[in-house]
Amino acid sequence: MNANVLAVCSVSATNLNFGDYDASNPSARSSTSALSITCFQWTRLYVALGAGAAAGAAVDNRKMTSGAHALNYGLYSNASHTTVWATYALDSDGRGPRAMAIAVLDRAWPNPPGQHVANGSYSDTITVTLTY
């Protein structure tokens, strides 16, 4: 007899909501999302956050859109908003299942400050990719 044990992971996230944006107020506005990751039998896990769905978006310049209009924002892995969230590595002791929570810190502005965009509801979708 033989068996093959698969490495299996799942991920879920809370929604980020910046609330109302006022271009006349240049102070930073932040929000936090929690990624919940559960893995079975992995040794090293890489968590990558995509650039988002907007045309021209990049991990260091993400964009929420409303029709043809875009509002720039950033995702950061530290509270001082200096490290752009791209890929994060986690190590395991090899025992499963194991659930983890990772904070994703956001800043919608200034990025740059005082973005003058059309009024409306802006949104984006970020893809989370797990590599193990």
Query: Using one digit for the tens of pLDDT, what is the confidence trace for 90-123?
Result: 776 666 666 777 777 776 554 566 778 889 999 9
Mean pLDDT taken over the chain:
81
Distance of CA 50 to the CA centre of its chain: 8
Q: What superfamily in CATH does domain 10-18+35-131 come from?
A: Fimbrial-type adhesion domain (2.60.40.1090)
CA distance 39 to 15: 21
Cβ atoms of 65 and 72 within 8 Å: the answer is: no
For the chain, helix (H) and strand (E) counts, in that order, are 0, 8
Query: Using one digit for the tens of pLDDT, what is the confidence trace for 69-93?
Result: 998 888 888 777 888 888 888 776 6
pTM for the complete prediction?
0.81
Residue 80: what pLDDT? 79
| Residue 27: φ, ψ to 5° | -70, 150
Residue 130: what pLDDT? 87
User: Helix, strand or coil for residue 67?
Assistant: coil
pLDDT band at 14 (very low <50, low <70, confident <90, very high): confident
> Residue ranges per domain, the chain?
10-18+35-131
